[in-house]
Amino acid sequence: MGKQRFNRNILIAVDESDNARRAVDYVAALLGGIEGFQITLFHVIPDPEEDYFQQPQDHEAWLENYRKKIDAMLESFRRILVDSGFSESSVRIRTIKRFCPSMAKCILQERDEVDYSTIVVGRQGISRSEEFLFGSVSSKIVNHAKNCTVWVVA
């Protein structure tokens, strides 16, 4: 049986939390300066239900403001990775707008579409009882991810 070669594509799923920043910092500290890794900073813009906004222009204004805020956050995360030694071309940003009843499913769908070998997520700051009742994104990813490693950064 031959050795299986894994790709070096890493998906870092991020949001505005401190835990997401810690996940980016972890990858930067662990792999920064090592050639051959491709990093994707991935953010899902949660598309609210149609009736969430009274007017269509309210939705557009919300989306424009949200994108500006998220673009700044993603650029700061990209800068952390580049400053740690990743080349500019090896760090990309991917943002999608999608209705996600489960953020974990959206992240796993992205993993399957692009074939990442590693998913990196920050652990949500919820209590054990909340995690038991509602689950967490990181727990769901750990339980349902196939053919990849999952790093949960606390």
CATH class of 9-153: alpha beta
Q: How far apart are CA 67 and CA 45, in angstroms?
A: 8
What DSSP character marks residue 43? E
Condensed to tens digits (0 to 9), the pLDDT of residues 70-95 reads 999 999 999 999 999 999 999 999 99
- Compute the radius of gyration of the chain from its Cα atoms: 16
Condensed to tens digits (0 to 9), the pLDDT of residues 110-140 reads 998 998 999 999 986 434 443 443 458 888 9
Q: Is the pLDDT of residue 55 over 90?
A: no
How much of the chain exceeds pLDDT 90, in percent?
62
Largest CA distance in the chain: 61
pLDDT at 115: 87
Q: How far apart are CA 42 and CA 109, in angstroms?
A: 12
Q: Exposed, middle or buried: residue 23 (CB in 10 Å: 0-12, 13-18, 19+)? A: buried
Q: How far apart are CA 69 and CA 28, in angstroms?
A: 22
